[in-house]
């Protein structure tokens, strides 16, 4: 998988590859709901929660004692069990097209060959809340390999 450089220019995120430039139109506002490095979510998964009961089930699984009740959708990304603390996952952009479909852009961070990472079992999960989409939601994952040492 290719490693991408990300630049923030005038409110647009540009993903630069070796031959193509993609401009994202991050026109859906979102805010973080949950950020845990060691959650109770043990499987890799991406899902959209738009019912209170589902949200409560997810929240209980993540081992958190209080939860908000937003009039919105909660978008969750989770990595499976990882063997060190350098693994991470993050939603960096949500784009809505003219039909009301969302594309959720996710950066999955993994350690490079020379990285010294805390040795622990982690289950990274992220959740954000966003306005309820009128269409479908798709996820686009990009893997970022940490560059450590030479």
Concatenate the DSSP letters of all residues of the chain into one string.
----EEEEETTEEEEE-SS-EEEE---S--EEEEEESB-S--S-EEEEE-SHHHHHHHHHHTT-S-----SSEEEEEE---EEETT-EEEEEEEEE-TTS-EEEEEEEEE--TT----EEEEB-EEEEEEPPPSS-EEEEEEEEE-----
| pLDDT tens-place string over residues 95-116 | 999 999 999 999 999 999 889 9
The answer to whether 83 and 123 are in contact (CB under 8 A) is no
Token pair of 105 as six digits = 């852009």
Q: What digits encode the pLDDT tens for the residues 59-90? A: 767 754 344 545 567 888 888 888 898 999 99
- How confident is the model at residue 41, as a pLDDT? 75
pLDDT at 120 over 80: yes
Average confidence (pLDDT) over 136-144: 94
Displacement of CA 131 from its chain's centroid (Å) = 16
Strand order in the sheet with 137-145: 88-96, 102-110, 137-145
Predicted TM-score (pTM) above 0.85: no
Structure tokens at 93: 């952009």
């Amino acid at each position: 998988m290719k490693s991408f450089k990300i630049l923030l220019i005038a409110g647009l995120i540009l993903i630069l590859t070796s031959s193509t430039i993609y401009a994202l139109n991050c026109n859906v506002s979102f805010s973080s709901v949950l950020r845990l490095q060691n959650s109770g979510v043990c499987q890799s998964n991406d899902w959209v929660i738009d019912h209170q009961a589902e949200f409560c089930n997810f929240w209980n699984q993540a081992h958190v004692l209080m939860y908000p009740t937003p009039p919105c959708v909660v978008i969750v990304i989770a990595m499976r069990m990882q063997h060190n603390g350098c693994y991470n996952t993050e939603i960096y952009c949500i784009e809505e097209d003219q039909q009301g479909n969302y594309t959720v852009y996710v950066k999955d961070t993994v350690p490079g060959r020379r990285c010294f990472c805390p040795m622990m079992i982690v289950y990274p999960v992220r959740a954000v809340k966003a306005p309820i989409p009128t269409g479908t939601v798709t996820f686009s994952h990009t893997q970022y390999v940490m560059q450590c040492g030479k």
